[in-house]
Amino acid sequence: MPSSNLLKGSLSFAATNEPGVQSVVFEFNPETMTRLQVYSEQNNAISESIRFELVLSAVEGMEQAVPDAVENGVYPALAALEELLLNQTRQQRTGWPEWLFPPRNIGFLALIYGERIIPVKIQRLNMKELLHNSQLKPVYAKADIALRVLTERELRGNVAGLAALAAYKNYRRLKAQFS
């Protein structure tokens, strides 16, 4: 069960002015986080993916009679995750030359936890509603989230996104020096 002692994490759109859901904040202490790095000879590049299971619980809030937890459970958080997935599709470039149709928005989705800010794209979102309240709104759920770290090429022209990616890589290099 999530606890108030856990650090917060989030999936957040950064550097964007689009309407709609911009962030989902959650208690972040996954039992397992899988990071996969794959080298492609064709592109001479390494792609990285991150996968974890997010546990969402309104049980503690229900026990303390927090009105939103009692009425809505974790449904708002699940709906916000779905909206982030939808919002990321709006971030896509049109395929037309940028000088002709510049991108409407140069935001990026970031996984933020601890000291890390990682520009990502949601690849898969699998939500399991496990317990429900009397109105059949979920009060306990697990979301299996698969993310892909964005590349420099994908972030081209996005100063904030490139800076976040560089900081993430530099953080990893710095920590590797202490091993």
Positive or negative CA dihedral for 154, 157, 159, 160? Answer: negative
Contacts of 61 (CB under 8 A, 6+ apart): 68, 69, 70
Q: The domain containing residue 78 runs over which residues?
A: 8-176
In a domain, 3, yes or no: no
In a domain, 1, yes or no: no
Average pLDDT over all residues of the chain: 83
- pLDDT tens-digit map of 111-151: 988 888 999 999 999 999 999 988 899 999 999 999 999 99
Calculate ∠ Cα 11-62-23, nearest 5°: 15
Predicted confidence (pLDDT) at residue 101 exceeds the cutoff of 90: no
Asked if residues 140 and 56 have their Cβ atoms less than 8 Å apart, the reply is: yes
- pLDDT tens-digit map of 43-62: 888 899 999 999 999 988 88
Predicted confidence (pLDDT) at residue 95 exceeds the cutoff of 60: no
Q: Rounded to an integer, what distance in angstroms lies between the CA atom of residue 122 and that of residue 31?
A: 20
Q: Rounded to an integer, what distance in angstroms lies between the CA atom of residue 62 and that of residue 65?
A: 5
Asked if residues 150 and 168 have their Cβ atoms less than 8 Å apart, the reply is: no
Number of domains in the chain: 1
In a domain, 50, yes or no: yes
